[in-house]
A = this chain, B = another copy of it.
Amino acid sequence: MTSSVNPKDAPSAAPLGFQNHDHRACVAGALATAESRCAADGLRLTPVRRKVLELLLQEHRALGAYAILDLLREAGFGSQPPVAYRALEFLVENGFVHKVERLNAFVACAHPGRMHSPAFMICRLCEAVAEAPSAPARGAFGAAARAAGFQIERTVVEAEGVCPSCAAKGDA
């Protein structure tokens, strides 16, 4: 969602998505969405899972599993890798979190509640990650896949580059 870059919010030292936004609302909304959808679908958003989602939403950037694990430990949860990986598995399976393959890291979904195939823009300078909608199965690639007889089930689309904030710093 890149409809408009709205500078109304905090000038912020925030490595957020790329545009400023009301991050408290962004976090609270996503958590609420996750809770209601879990309730609706009979999924169990347990304390660990909820905490991991909350951490990823608050950071608003991609975190490695071990970084998450450190934060979990600080919050009093288990500190062994499977604790983090299992929570992440649940969150990824149910679309609340995406894995960024390029970084071997995880990021909270920016468009929860809707089925979608994510595309990411990853700043190589500040490591900010923005999620854009994508429809890779349409377009030239999808046509090539159909021509080859390949049935696409899942796609990874990740662009590495420089975010507007870092570009401004660098050029200035």
Confirm or deny: A158 has a beta carbon within 8 angstroms of a beta carbon on chain B. yes
Docked Cα-Cα span, A152 to B133, in Å, equals 16
How big is the A interface, by class? 35 or more
Contact of A121 among B124, B148, B158 (CB under 8 A): B148
Contact of A19 among B5, B119, B148, B154 (CB under 8 A): B148
Asked if B156 and A162 sit within 8 Å, CB to CB, the answer is no
Contact partners of A17 in chain B: CB under 8 A: 148
Contact partners of A172 in chain B: CB under 8 A: none
Taking Cβ atoms with an 8 Å cutoff, the residues of A that contact B are: 1-5, 16-19, 101-102, 119, 121, 123-124, 130, 132-137, 139-141, 144-164, 167
